[in-house]
């Protein structure tokens, strides 16, 4: 599970914010979406390197002579869990400024990308590309819902967070049970949870903009952590869809 942090600070409810669309809000949201898009590009580039450049691939993954993935090396395992450490250190050890949170964002997406090289070793390229397009389309529609809806999604978001915790527990349990039925259920529920989180996080970002009241430094921090939340939502939705519909090599 890649989602380990919901990003920027809690904000006021939708009803208490002036939700009129203005130039500043559009610029703020555009900055977030641009950062998410660039983060995905960087992650894809890192995944390509770790899956297709043989010396790097062999440092990260254990593969057979015909290129089938067997597992992670020690270095690969460290890289896979390092984004959590980077985010925790970034939030606890450094002052929350646009620069420091920007470093955290780019480090996290690069490390996640490096660990995603196993995707190219497990799934067919055409299947990965098709799933990415489906995810991008769904992300756009769901984020638009979160941006435009007048309904307060705070309660819905809290429900999704609880569901996410349950999903993590079920995933850990299934590491020992190896149940195909439970794995399928986890993947389906994961799609639903992260679809909802895309709308919820988009609305929360919009509300955050109004709460910050033009504080440029705070908005820089919110842009980075907001982009990280949406990046993780996109990534997890993509992975769950790929596990359900993806064609294996």
Q: Does residue 123 belong to any structural domain of this protein? A: yes
Number of domains in the chain: 1
* Angstrom distance (rounded) from CA 102 to CA 16: 29
- Give buried/exposed letters for 159-197 (b at 16+ CB in 10 A, else e): ebeebbeebeebeeebeeeeeeeebeebbebbbebbbbb
pLDDT digits (tens, 9 = 90+) for 160-191: 999 999 999 999 999 999 999 999 999 999 99
> Could you tell me the residue range of the domain that residue 94 belongs to?
14-245
Q: Does residue 4 sit within a domain?
A: no
3-state secondary structure of 7: coil
Task: Say what the pTM is.
Answer: 0.89
Asked if 148 contacts 81 with a C-beta cutoff of 8 angstroms, the reply is no
CA gap 110, 162 in Å, rounded: 28
Average pLDDT over residues 215-242: 96
More confident residue, 230 or 22: 230
**Among the ranges given (10-14, 43-47, 99-103, 220-224), the one the predictor scored with the smallest mean pLDDT:** 10-14
């Amino acid at each position: 599970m890649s989602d380990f942090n919901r990003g920027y600070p809690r904000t006021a409810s939708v009803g208490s914010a002036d939700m009129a669309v203005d130039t500043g809000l559009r610029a703020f949201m555009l900055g977030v979406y641009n950062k998410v898009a660039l983060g995905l590009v960087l992650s894809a580039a890192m995944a390509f390197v770790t899956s297709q450049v043989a010396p790097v691939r062999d440092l990260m993954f254990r593969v057979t002579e015909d290129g089938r993935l067997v597992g992670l090396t020690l270095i690969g395992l460290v890289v896979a869990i390092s984004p959590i450490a980077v985010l925790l250190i970034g939030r606890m050890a450094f002052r929350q400024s646009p620069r420091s949170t920007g470093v955290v964002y780019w480090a996290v997406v690069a490390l996640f990308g490096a660990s995603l090289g196993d995707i190219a070793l497990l799934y067919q390229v055409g299947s990965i590309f098709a799933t990415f397009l489906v995810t991008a389309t769904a992300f756009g529609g769901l984020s638009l819902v979160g941006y435009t809806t007048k309904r307060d999604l705070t309660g819905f978001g809290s429900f999704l967070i609880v569901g996410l915790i349950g999903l993590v527990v079920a995933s850990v349990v299934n590491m020992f049970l190896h149940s195909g039925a439970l794995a399928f259920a986890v993947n389906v529920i994961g799609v639903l949870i992260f679809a909802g989180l895309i709308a919820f996080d988009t609305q929360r970002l919009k509300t955050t903009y109004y709460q910050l009241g033009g504080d440029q430094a705070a908005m820089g921090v919110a842009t980075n952590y907001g982009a990280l939340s949406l990046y993780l939502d996109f990534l997890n939705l993509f992975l769950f869809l790929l596990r359900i519909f993806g064609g294996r090599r």
